[in-house]
Structure 1
Amino acid sequence: MNYAQLLFPDFSLIAIGWLLCRYTALDRRVWDQVESLVYYFLFPVLLFHSIVRSPLDFGATSSLLTAGVGVGVCGIVLAYALPFVPGLRTHIDRRDHAASAQIAFRFNSFICLALAERLGGSEGLLLIAVLIGVCVPIFNIAAVWPMTRHAQTGFVRQLVRNPLIVATVAGLLANVLGLTVPTWATPTLTRIGAASLALGLLAAGAGMKFSTLGAGKVLAVSVLAIRHLLLPLVAWVLARALRLDAAQGAVLMAFSAVPTASSAYVLAARMGYNGPYVAGLVTLSTLLGVVSLPFALALPR
C-alpha cells in the first residue's frame, strides 16, 4: 500500500492554502470567513452524516470498541499529563498545550475510512464506522475541555454551544435510534462533507506559520510522539490482549496511527487559541503518517 500517495491529497491542500494566503489576494480576511463556514456548518454536517450513515453493531464489535476507546483514553491521559512531566513542564506553554493536546489523540476520519476499505473491504468499513461513531464524540469533548478549562469558561456551556460536539452527539443518538438520512438528501450531504474536508485543510494551510513551531518544539515533539509512536504500541498491546481477529486488528492498528484530525486547527482558531501553531502540527502529523502507518501495520499480531 502506498501511504505517501494516500496522504498526498491532504498535504497538498495544506500547501495550497499556505501559498494562496501568502502570495495571492486571498489573504487572512478571506480565510477567517472560511474558518467560520467550516466550523459552524460544513464540519458539523460532515460529522453528523459520517456517524448516521452506517449502523452501529455494538455487540459484534465490543472487543474492537474496547480497544479503540482504550487507545483514545491512553492518548488523552498522556496528552493531558504533559505539563506535569518533570523535565517537560518548564518547556511547555500551558495555553499552547490546551490548544494542541487534541493533536495527540484525534484522528482523520477520511483517511481511516480509506484505509479500512483497502484493508478489509466492506467489513473494514463497517468496523471503522463503529469506531468513528463512538470515538468522535468522546475525542471532541476531550479536545474542548483543556481549552475551556484554561480560558476558565463554563465547560458545559461551551459543550452545548460547540457545533462539532452537538453534531457528533446528535449523529450518535440518531444512529442508536435507527434514524436514517433520506436517500434524496445523501448526495447533498456527501458534497458538503467533501467541501468541509477540502476547505478545512486549505484553511489549516492558510493559518500555518512555521515560526510558531520553533517556539514550542518540546510540546510539538511530545504530542506527535504520542500520536504516531506511543498510540500504535498501545493498540498493538490491546489487540493482543483482547485477541482481536485479523480484520479488527488491522483496523485498530490503522486507527491508532493515522494523522490527526484536520479540524483541530479550525477548533483551536475559532476558540481563540494559537491556530498557526496547531496548523503546523496538523501538517507535521500528515507527513508522519507516512511512517507511522506502515510501522503500526507491520507489528506482529
Structure 2
Amino acid sequence: MNYAQLLFPDFALILLGYLLCRFSPLNRPIWQGAEALVYYLLFPVLLFHSIVKSPLDWAATSSLIAAGVTSGLVGIALAYSLPWWPGLRHHISTRDHAGAAQVAFRFNSFIGLALADRLAGAQGLLFISVLIGFCVPMFNIAAVWPMTREGQHSFWGQLIRNPLIVATVCGLCANLLGFRMPTWLEPPVARIGAASIALGLMSAGAGMQLGLLTHAKRLSVGVLGIRHLLQPLIALGAIHVFGLQGEQALVLLLFSALPTASTCYVLAARMGYNGPYVAGLVTLSTILGVLSLPYALSLTSLLPTP
C-alpha cells in the first residue's frame, strides 16, 4: 500500500492552511479564532461522538489500551530523561526542557482522526478515539507537570479546563452508562465532526512557525527524535508484547508517529514559557510527519502474523 499517497490529502490541507495564512487576507488572527473554535467546540464534539456512537468492547480493546498507555509512558520517561542523556547533560536549559518536553509525546488529534478514518474507516475512528480518550489526560498531565514545577501554576486547574480531557472523560462515562445519541441528532453532530477535521488540519498549517528553531538545537533534536523515530519502534514493541493484530496494530502505529499537538505552543506560552520556540518545534514536527507516518506504517511488515 502506498501510504504516502494515502496521506497526501490531509497534508495538502495543512499546506493549504499555511499558504492561506501567509499569502492571503486570511491571516493569523483569523486562524487563531478558527483554532479556538475547533479546540473548544468542534473537536470535543467529534471526540465525544466517536466514543459514544458504538458500544465499547472493553475485552477487545483492553490490549490496545494497554499497548497505547505503555508506549506513551515510555515516551514520557524518555522526554523527562533528556537532560541526563550523554551529550545533552549541561547543554539543556531546565526551563527550555520544561516547556518543550511535551513535544516528544503529545500528538495532533486532528491529523490522527483524519488518517484513522482514511486508513481503517469507522473501526479505525473508534480505536483511535479510545486511545485519545486514555492518552489525552495522561499526556496533558505529563505536559503540565514540568511547567508547574518550574513556574507558579495550578496543576489541577490546568487539567480541568482542558476541553479535550472533559470531552473524552464524558464520552467514556456516557459509553459505560449505555448512552446513545438520538437519531435526529446524528446528522448535525456528524457534520460538526467532518468540519473539525478539515478546519483542524488547516489550522495546524496556519500555525506553523520556523523562526526560532536555531534556539536549543540539541534539545530540539532530542524531543523530535523521540517523537518521530523512537515512538514508532516503541509502539512496534508494544504490539508484540500485547499481541495486537490487524486494524488495532495499524492504528497504534499510526498513533505513534503523529506530529506533535498544535496546542503545545499555546500551553507553553500561556504558562509563561518560550512559546515561539515551541511553535517552531510544532512546525518541524508537522513537516517531519510527512516522513515518520509512512515510516511507521511500513513497520506493518514486521507485525506478528495471526
Is the Cα contact below 8 Å between 1:79 and 1:226 reproduced in 2?
A: yes
1:286 equivalent in structure 2:
289
Answering whether residue 25 of structure 2 is matched by residue 22 of structure 1, we say: no
Is the Cα contact below 8 Å between 1:124 and 1:247 reproduced in 2?
A: yes
The structural deviation recorded for 1:70 is 0.6
Is the Cα contact below 8 Å between 1:92 and 1:219 reproduced in 2?
A: yes
Is the Cα contact below 8 Å between 1:49 and 1:189 reproduced in 2?
A: yes
1:256 equivalent in structure 2:
256
The 1:38–1:55 alpha-carbon spacing in structure 2 relative to 1, beyond 3 Å, is same
Alignment of 1:30-45 (within 5 A): 30-45=30-45
The structural deviation recorded for 1:74 is 0.8
2:194 equivalent in structure 1:
194
The structural deviation recorded for 1:4 is 1.7
1:132 equivalent in structure 2:
132
Is the Cα contact below 8 Å between 2:228 and 2:289 reproduced in 1?
A: no
Is the Cα contact below 8 Å between 2:46 and 2:189 reproduced in 1?
A: yes
- The one-letter amino acid of 1:288's match is L
User: How far apart are the structure 1 equivalents of 2:178 and 2:254?
Assistant: 28
2:280 equivalent in structure 1:
277
Scaled by the length of structure 2, the TM-score of the pair is 0.82
The structural deviation recorded for 1:73 is 0.9
1:50 equivalent in structure 2:
50
User: How far apart are the structure 2 equivalents of 1:52 and 1:100?
Assistant: 33
- The one-letter amino acid of 2:5's match is Q
Answering whether residue 162 of structure 2 is matched by residue 162 of structure 1, we say: yes
RMSD: 3.0
The 1:207–1:61 alpha-carbon spacing in structure 2 relative to 1, beyond 3 Å, is closer
User: How far apart are the structure 2 equivalents of 1:15 and 1:253?
Assistant: 24
Q: Deviations over 1:61-87 (max 9, x none)?
A: 322222121111111111222234342
The 1:202–1:135 alpha-carbon spacing in structure 2 relative to 1, beyond 3 Å, is same
The 1:34–1:147 alpha-carbon spacing in structure 2 relative to 1, beyond 3 Å, is farther
User: How far apart are the structure 2 equivalents of 1:241 and 1:11?
Assistant: 32
1:297 equivalent in structure 2:
300
Q: Deviations over 1:213-247 (max 9, x none)?
A: 23243233222221222222222222223333455
User: How far apart are the structure 1 equivalents of 2:187 and 2:99?
Assistant: 34
**Range 205-214 or range 68-77, more displaced:** 205-214
**Range 190-199 or range 149-158, more displaced:** 190-199
- The one-letter amino acid of 1:277's match is G
Q: List runs of 5+ in structure 2 lacking aligned partners.
A: none
Q: Deviations over 1:135-178 (max 9, x none)?
A: 33323333333344443201011111222222222222222222
User: How far apart are the structure 2 equivalents of 1:124 and 1:31?
Assistant: 29
Residue identity over aligned pairs, in percent, reads: 60
Is the Cα contact below 8 Å between 2:34 and 2:199 reproduced in 1?
A: yes
- The one-letter amino acid of 1:137's match is P
User: How far apart are the structure 1 equivalents of 2:159 and 2:229?
Assistant: 30
Is the Cα contact below 8 Å between 1:258 and 1:292 reproduced in 2?
A: no
- The one-letter amino acid of 1:132's match is I
